[in-house]
Amino acid sequence: MKQVAIITGASRGIGAAIAQRLAKDGFAVVVNYAGNVAEADKVVGAVRADGGTAIAVQADVASAADVRALFERTIAELGRVDVLVNNAGIMPPNLPQLAATDDDIFDRLVAVNLKGSFNTMREAAAKLEQGGRIINFSSSLVGTLLPGYSAYVATKAGVEAMTSILAKELRGKNITVNAVAPGPTATALFLDGKTPELIERLAKMTPLERLGQPDDIASAVSFLAGPDGSWINGQTLRANGGMV
C-alpha cells in the first residue's frame, strides 16, 4: 500500500506543486481545496496522467467538522495518512496597516491560517501512522516584519509556535512536525494587487534576485516528507533565497 499525503489548499499555487512533487516521490496524494473544484480536478488529472494516485477532497480547513471529514474520507479511500502538508492559507491583497485593519479581515486570517492549521494538526496527531510527518506553512514575513502584515504574520508566528510544541507533544510516536516559511513566491496570493514595480522590488530583496517558484517550495517539502528529512523535527525552514 502506498504512503498517503494530505495536502491542504492543493488546487492552486504552492499546494498544487507540492501535490505533484509528492506524487512523483511515490505518495498517494489527497488534493484538498476550498471551492475551486475545476482546478483541484486538473491537479488530480495531472498526477494520474503521470501514473500517480490522487483524489480531490473539498474541505474548508477553518471548519473542524470539514477537517474531520477530510481525514475520514482519506482513510476510507486510501487506507491511511502518513503526511499532512498544512499549506492552505490566505493573504488578502493590499492588507492595511494594523490601525486600519477591520475585524472581518483579522477574523478571517485567524480562522483559515491559525485555526485551520490547528484543526488539521489536531486531526493528524490522532490519525497519522508511526513515522508520519506534519509540515506546516509559515512565512518569511515572520522574519522581515514588514509594515502592513501584522495580522497575517501573527497567524504565521502562531503556526511556528504550535509546530515546535506539537513536535514535543508527539514524543514516542515517531512523528516529526516542521514548518516551511517561504519568501515571496510567484502565486496568486503574492502577485494579486501588486504593481510590476513592487513585484520587482520584492523579488530583488533576495540575494538570488528572483521570486521563488512553487517548485522551489515543493522541493523543501519533499525533503521534509522524505527519508532524508527524518532527523529534522520542531524546526521552521525558511525557503526564500536568502532574503532573511
In the bound state with ligand NDP, the residue whose beta carbon lies nearer, of 182 and 241, is 182
Of 3 and 86, nearer to ligand NDP (C-beta) is 86
Looking at the DSSP bridge assignments, the partners of residue 176 are 133
CA–CA distance, 232 with 238 (Å, rounded to integer):
13
> Which residue in the list 27, 118, 152, 190 is annotated as catalytic?
152
Q: Which residues of 57-92 are buried (b: 16+ CB within 10 A; e: fewer)?
A: bbbbbbebebbbebbebbeeebeebbbbbbbbbbbe
The reply to whether 110 sits near ligand NDP by the rule CB under 6 A is no
Told to check if 71 binds ligand NDP by CB under 6 A, we report no
Quote the strand ranges of 40-158, DSSP E: 54-58, 83-86, 133-137
Gyration radius (Cα) of the chain, Å: 17
Q: Which is nearer to ligand NDP, 36 or 53 (CB)?
A: 36
Residues contacting ligand NDP: total by CB under 6 A: 33
Among 87, 120, 178, 236, interactor with ligand NDP by CB under 6 A:
87
Among 89, 132, 158, 229, binds ligand NDP (CB under 6 A): 89
- Residues 3-22 touching ligand NDP, rule: CB under 6 A, are 8-15
CB 21 within 8 Å of CB 47? no
Rounded-to-integer distance, Cα 203 and Cα 243, Å: 9
CB nearer to ligand NDP: give 110 or 232: 110
> What is the C-alpha separation between 8 and 34, in angstroms, rounded?
9
Interacting stretch for ligand NDP, rule CB under 6 A, among 2-10, 98-106, 167-175, 222-230?
2-10
Return d(Cα 131, Cα 217) in angstroms, integer.
Answer: 22
Per rule CB under 6 A, is residue 241 in the interface with ligand NDP?
no
**Is 149 among the catalytic positions?**
no
Contact call for residue 243 and ligand NDP (CB under 6 A): no
Residue 192 grid coordinates: 494579486
Q: Which of residues 210-229 bind ligand NDP (CB under 6 A)?
A: none
Residues designated catalytic: 152
| Residues contributing to the site for ligand NDP (CB under 6 A) | 8-15, 32-36, 39, 60-62, 87-91, 112, 116, 137, 139, 182, 184-185, 187-190
